[in-house]
Amino acid sequence: MDLHLSTAEPSTSERDAVDAAFALLAPAAVEAAAADRPTRSVHAGHAARSRRHLLLPLLHAVHDAEGWLSEGALNHVARTLQVPPAEVYGVATFYAMFSVEPRAPRVVHVCDDVACGPNGGEEIVAALTDALGPPAGNGEADPAGGGDPERPGACWVRSPCLGLCERAPAVLHQRAGEPDLSQAPATPDGTVAAATAPFDTAGAQASAADDAFADTAVSAPQTRTGERLRLLRRVGAVDPSSLDDYRSRGGYAALRRAVDLGPTRVIAELKDSSLTGRGGAAFPTGVKWEAVAQSPERPHHLVCNADESEPGTFKDRVLMEGDPYGLVEAMTIAGYVTGATVGHLYLRGEYPLATRRLQDAIAAARARGYLGADVMGEGFAFDIELRRGAGAYICGEETALLESIEGYRGEPRNKPPFPAQQGLFGKPTAINNVETLYNVLEILDIGGRSFAAVGGDRSTGSKLFCVSGAVGTPGVYEVDFGTTLRELLELAGGARGTLRTVLLGGAAGGFVMPDDLDVPLTLEGARDIGATLGSGVVLVFDTAADLTGTLRRIAAFFRDESCGQCVPCRVGTVRQEEVLARLERDTPIGSRETELALLDDLARVMRDASICGLGQTAPSAVMSAIDLELIAAPRGAADPATNGRGTTA
């Protein structure tokens, strides 16, 4: 393969970062990937292409060490993996957490999304602007730290949802050569102090801050009186760093039962349970696992989708931070049943604490024989590879996630074929999200029929809901399917102020008005009122909320997160945000009615012609708000707090 590289060379530290990561991930290929090999390589072909899946980890290695990806570093990654430099650059620029321009070694990502922005995020932005100057990316940031040798260079950027909505506002400190750090709830002074701490005290301060965050990172488990915590039963009770404590609380009993039953009977239990996927698509889990298990083509693959990135969603983070061994065990069961020997855990890059806890749990399970060539001495092999995302909501779409793992841009594939037939590396693949996998532990504990007795129809078992916004106690709440929205809000302390509306199902969901609060929270109940449960987002707004501004922020989120592969989504999300911006400024082209008609036309095109769910659902919240007349009318018009049913929300 001819690699037409530029003349830029990596620095010593960049070369060392790439080589160390490559040696760890592909030790057998180290000699073939020597840095001084010629541009035209005898190692091209199948052997080289088989290493392309290491592209994202190598980019992370350089970025973690240096804070940005230089041209020389990208050249060295291209040589190491024998990937054309243009493709390496294309992948590097796809992810929001990577920078290919020089940047300060510390970057503060400030969430300004629908939960954090109105609840302190903008105050943090103002404080960082005063302390560090304008946001990075416009050539005005101060990467040198003002020439002060005692102060590390720091800059800041606006960020979409960081998955800490229940403790808004949130920030993420991305730090070259240091562990990343989350702060939530963050304060303006605390954020500036963490970003500008002197080098000699930065490590100690960061460690103390990380420990403090870890102590409060997990929401207290909540459920209704008389209902049993199932998915959250160990969260807040188990030591997430201790395998022994996990085992003392029932850990690995489910895996032993799975081995006793055998794959066929485990699948039968899943079918009896009627467990459906909890990521929003609600596909039957037992059917998916059976399709992969029965496929004659080998090898089989297992993928855990832990890339929850939709504004208002944070349930998987709570599970992974509070009960990491539960996910390791559930993935091991899934691998055993589907015949996969490797599980790929794809975790969003904005979750540093979950990343560290899962890395530790995987290492401990491997050391104790719960992962490896002979799991628990039962004669089957299974191990887990953790892959960090780097800031791309689209990678939550299952086929885009597969592309990302394989070392390509996270652009969705056309379906069919579906992943169960041709998934990761073209082989049969079972993909489940985090909450779905934790439900498997419960099914093996109580049996499929007992699980199905909770709820009904296709909505069986319990469901995690992420309640945030204008409520008394934001957090993750576990309730049985069939609980009403009103009961859930009461469990969360009720609405603060006067309730106006609830965004159900997240940015890709729809609004529910106060007179619909008695809807049962099931797939069927939500559908009956034209809504969706989605991934479990319940974002509450009072009458003081700026809903037009919120809708514009949601539209801007989809505009930024579109992969750009298909025209309906690439153009439609931009035009949608532009219309909402004009309505927010009260400067419509033509008339308000003309603009609303344009939004309707855009929605129809995106729903009908987009390749994947991002474009198909990008207009959902906007159209729901239009139907309920939640978008503020021009100045001097009727009170926008009056909804389309003639009642004051």
Q: Is the dihedral of CA 457, 440, 436, 468 positive or negative?
A: positive
251-266 per-position pLDDT tens digit: 999 999 999 999 999 9
User: pLDDT at position 228, please?
Assistant: 80
pLDDT of residue 67 exceeding 50: yes
pLDDT of residue 273 exceeding 70: yes
Both structure tokens of 151: 């102060």
Q: Is the dihedral of CA 248, 250, 256, 260 positive or negative?
A: positive
Q: What distance in Å separates the CA atoms of residue 190 and residue 186, rounded to the nearest whole number?
A: 7
User: pLDDT at position 196, please?
Assistant: 87
Q: What percent of the chain has pLDDT over 90?
A: 81
Least confident interval from 60-64, 194-198, 232-236:
194-198
pLDDT of residue 575 exceeding 50: yes
Instruction: Tell me if 565 sits within 8 A of 412, measured CB to CB.
Output: yes
* Domains of the chain, first to last: 12-92 (no CATH), 106-216 (3.40.30), 243-453 (3.40.50.11540), 459-542 (3.10.20.600), 547-627 (1.20.1440.230)
User: pLDDT at position 35, please?
Assistant: 42
Mean pLDDT of 534-546: 94
User: pLDDT at position 641, please?
Assistant: 37
The residues near 239 (Cβ < 8 Å, ≥ 6 apart) are 245, 246
pLDDT of residue 490 exceeding 70: yes
358-383 per-position pLDDT tens digit: 999 999 999 999 999 999 999 999 99
> Model pTM?
0.91
436 bridge partner residues: none
Average pLDDT of the chain, as a whole number: 89
Instruction: Tell me if 501 sits within 8 A of 194, measured CB to CB.
Output: no
Both structure tokens of 213: 């965050």
Pairing of strands 171-175, 154-159: unpaired
Helices (H), 133-223: 188-196, 199-216
Mean pLDDT of 440-449: 97
DSSP percent split of the chain into helix, strand, coil, nearest 5 = 45, 15, 40
Cα dihedral: 492, 496, 498, 500 (round 10): -60
pLDDT of residue 209 exceeding 90: no
- Can you tell me which residue has the tokens 């990502």? 109
State phi, psi for 383 to the nearest 5 degrees: -140, 165
Cα dihedral: 113, 118, 124, 125 (round 10): 60
Both structure tokens of 110: 């400030």
pLDDT of residue 101 exceeding 80: yes
Mean pLDDT of 103-108: 93
322-366 per-position pLDDT tens digit: 999 999 999 999 999 999 999 999 999 999 999 999 999 999 999
Both structure tokens of 234: 């160990």
The residues near 644 (Cβ < 8 Å, ≥ 6 apart) are 627, 628, 629, 630
What secondary structure does DSSP assign to 319-360, as a single string?
HHHH-HHHHHHHHHHHHHHHTEEEEEEEE-TT-HHHHHHHHH
Buried b (16+ CB within 10 A) or exposed e, 272-287: bbbbbbbbbebebbbe
Burial of 321 (0-12, 13-18, 19+ CB in 10 A): buried
**Edge-first strand listing for the sheet containing 429-433:** 383-388, 340-347, 300-306, 429-433
Both structure tokens of 305: 């989708």
Mean pLDDT of 57-65: 97
User: pLDDT at position 525, please?
Assistant: 94
Half-sphere exposure of 376 (CA within 13 A, CB side): 15
